[in-house]
Structure 1
Amino acid sequence: MDIELSIIIVLTLVALLTGFIDSIAGGGGLIMMPALLFAGLPPQLALGTNKIQSVFGTSMAYRNYARAGLVEWRKEKWLALLAFAGAAIGALVVQQVSARVLELIVPLFLLAVAIYVIASPRMDDAQAHQRLTRKGYAPVVTGIGFYDGFFGPGTGSFLAASLVGLRGEGLTRATGHAKLFNMLTNLGSVIVFAFGGKIIWLLGLSMAVGSMTGSWLGSRTAVKHGARLIRPLLVIISVALTARLLWGWFQA
């Protein structure tokens, strides 16, 4: 599929914005996906191409959180691999199944995230008692990984909120670990979409430049300001994604 240079430039700039948002609170995919569809990409090509820029963006964000000492790779690596596997399976399934029902369920999940962030006094940088061990959290991260491979928007928000609520992590550290898991879910999705021929490589790699730039800026900003920035942005993104998904459902 041929893409005009002007469209590549515009989508690269959009990727810069979504990379900034994603690196802090997640949810950039619901800006990027409509932009790709508006540019004329078929849905499956849009999903696959979006994952290219996402994997580069989350990798950059992960690098900055890790360098700030906010990620424990050795302790979390098995959960990251489960997220990878879940996303790969989700990407396989989405190439065969309609996402119509999921598009109605997702807003409810996002709204729940927003309510939790607003209501919970624990959505800050203080560590809290964990409700689930790493082993107990494994099905959760695998399920979120599956969702990311199948559809995607809001994955970072789901991961961050679940790590705070279920694992007792501080919000900034939870966001760092969310980027680790999200990096692996994006990688798993890219591999499957690539084998399925569902990626426009020139466009995806061009967008990756914008995404990496935005993620570098966003993650450094989040590390500096911590929960004071992440908490309100997480609420705004969750509510905005809920409204956007519900609007899309009723317009379909």
Structure 2
Amino acid sequence: MTSYADQAILFVASFAANWFSALSGGGAGLIQFPMLIFLGLPFGVALATHKVASVALGLGATVRYLRENHLERRFSLIILGAGLPGVVLGAGTILQLAPRTALFLLGVLTLGLGLYSVFKPRLGMEHAPKNREGSGLLTGMLGLFVVGFLNGSITSGTGLFLTIWLIHHFGLDYKRAVAYTLVLCGLVWNGTGALVLGYLGSIAWGWMPALLAGSILGGYFGSHIAIRKGNLWIKRAFEVITILIGVKLVLG
């Protein structure tokens, strides 16, 4: 059980992490997950605990995005159907692996995402749906499965992969891509990962009050700003968060 001081630290860290995550389409693990380890949780317990708290991010974002009606039912089912098996497989695998090499490779990839967006000025600025049928859809679903596996296995910043995949392959703009990421990845993918990790490992329930409060409020207010500011603001936030996460994971 944490002290009141620890709960205050957890709330501030969780709010900040989830505010940035809701704004940029991922990256809550940059602050929240390392903070849990710093405060004394073992890797596996911190991972499962962070996953549960991340569901609250999805809940807070969902409350805000439902008012905007950005989500298409068929496309949402495609994301869930292709990604959830990867989430389950990844969550069942990660507790058996040494995390350092995987985190380093994830850092290189995440850093690459940010640089890719920086050097593609028009990326995600316009909503031009594509690859919704045939071979393009199958390739897209394979990518969603891979992203789902990363989401289930490694917690830091993997929502960013879903955001950029939805933009690059499916032609969404940043605002819509972030909406899908926060609602479907944040609520459903993370919820599934939390169930699997909680079943295979353990969750620090005594840490939850501050984490859940910070996640819900951070998710809601971050989503509100993202909706108000629009694509260019979200794109810049995405680039900053991905580059920071990438550098952090590479350096350890």
* TM-score, scaled relative to structure 1: 0.92
Q: Take 1:103 and 1:75, find their aligned partners in 2: how far apart are those partners?
A: 30
CA contact (8 A) 2:117 2:123 kept: yes
Q: What do the CA deviations read for 1:123-159 (whole angstroms, capped 9, x no partner)?
A: 2441236356443311111111111111121222111
Deviations 1:183-209 (A, max 9, x none): 222011110122124211231243111
2-structure distance, mates of 1:109, 1:43? 22
Pairing of 1:177-188 with structure 2 (within 5 A): 177-182=180-185, 183-188=187-192
In structure 2, the partner of 1:5 is 4
Q: How does 1:44-59 map to 2 (within 5 A)?
A: 44-59=44-59
Task: Tell me the residue number matched to 1:155.
Answer: 158
User: What does residue 167 of structure 1 align with?
Assistant: 170
- How is 1:208-219 mapped onto 2 (pairs within 5 angstroms)? 208-219=212-223
* TM-score (ref. length: structure 2): 0.92
User: Relative to structure 2, which stretch is displaced further, 115-124 or 213-222?
Assistant: 115-124
Matches within 5 A, 1:8-47: 8-25=7-24, 26-47=26-47
**TM superposition outliers: structure 1 runs of 4+ over 3 Å:** 131-135
Question: What is the rounded CA distance, in whole Å, between the counterparts of 1:246 and 1:145 in structure 2?
Answer: 21
Count of residue pairs brought into register by the alignment: 247
RMSD: 1.7
- For 2:19, give the aligned amino acid: F
Q: Could you list the runs of 5+ residues in structure 1 that have no partner in the other structure?
A: none
How far did 1:102 drift?
Answer: 0.8
> Quick one: which amino acid aligns to residue 63 of structure 1?
V
Q: Secondary structure at the match of 1:127?
A: coil
**Conservation of the 8 A alpha-carbon contact between 1:61 and 1:179:** yes
Which residue pairs with 1:91 in the alignment?
91
CA distance in 1, matches of 2:218, 2:71: 20
Where does residue 244 of structure 2 map in the other structure?
Answer: 240
Q: Whole-Å Cα distance in 2 between the matches of residues 131 and 194 of structure 1?
A: 36
1:195 corresponds to: 199
Q: Is the 8 Å Cα contact of residues 129 and 171 (structure 2) preserved in structure 1? A: yes
Q: Check the 8 A contact 1:53/1:205 in 2, yes or no.
A: no
- What displacement does 1:178 show? 1.5
Instruction: Tell me, in whole angstroms, the C-alpha distance in 1 between the residues paired with 2:80 and 2:59.
Output: 13
Contact 1:83 1:184 in 2 (8 A): no
Aligned counterparts, 1:125-164, within 5 A:
125-128=125-128, 130-131=130-131, 133-164=136-167
Q: Does 1:65 align with 2:65?
A: yes
Deviation at 1:112, TM superposition (A): 1.6
Distance in 2 separating the partners of 1:72 and 1:63: 16
Q: Deviations over 1:47-79 (max 9, x none)?
A: 011111101112221332232121113432132
- Contact 2:64–2:223 under 8 Å retained in 1: yes
Question: What percent of counterpart residues are identical?
Answer: 25
Distance 1:8 1:83 in 2: 33
Contact 1:49 1:200 in 2 (8 A): yes
Distance 1:102 1:13 in 2: 28
Instruction: Sort the Cα spacing of 1:98 and 1:15 in 2 relative to 1 into closer, same or farther, 3 A.
Output: same
Q: C-alpha deviations, 1:163-192, integer Å up to 9, x for none? A: 111111111111111123312220111101
1:68 match: secondary structure = coil
Contact 1:81 1:184 in 2 (8 A): no
Distance apart, 1:101 and its partner CA: 1.8
Partners of 1:86 and 1:236 in 2: how far apart?
Answer: 27
Q: Unmatched 5+ residue regions in structure 2?
A: none
